Amino acid sequence: MKNKILFFLLALILFSCKHTDTPPSVDYLEAEENSHYWIIVSAVIVDFGSQPLTDLGFCVNYPSNPNPPSYSDCDTIFYSHFTGNVVFRDTINGIDTDKDYLIRAFAKSSAGIGESKIIKIHTPSF
């Protein structure tokens, strides 16, 4: 009888433990190249989290939007198809010369959204 009670209590403890989902983590965002009309950016997924990735890319705030870019209010998501690489990059087109842009990378899964630090890029003038 004691073994049955012990087994029941052990099973109860094991099944009552909740698994916590963790979102992905993105870091090392950098602008690799910067011209008058485009910016090439890259970032690294440092932790995939507990669930498969569903989306990743870059958010940009244009000079008309003073808020820091985040996934929830992104002006544009430039790259949104996961290819399985730990490092991902894209070219941001449609920018203006001699302007400041704030850029942030993100990775999304069903567990949540991981966002990188924000970098500020100033595009050259002619």
Q: Tens digits of per-residue pLDDT, 2-47? A: 666 655 555 555 555 556 789 999 998 898 888 878 889 999 999 8
Determine, yes or no, domain membership for 5.
no
CB 96 within 8 A of CB 34: no
Determine, yes or no, domain membership for 2.
no
Please calculate the CA angle 72-78-84 and round it to the nearest 5 degrees.
95
Give residue 61's domain range.
Answer: 21-122
Q: Is the pTM of this model over 0.85?
A: no
Which DSSP symbol is given to 98? T
Please calculate the CA angle 70-75-84 and round it to the nearest 5 degrees.
65
Determine, yes or no, domain membership for 6.
no
Number of separate domains in the chain: 1
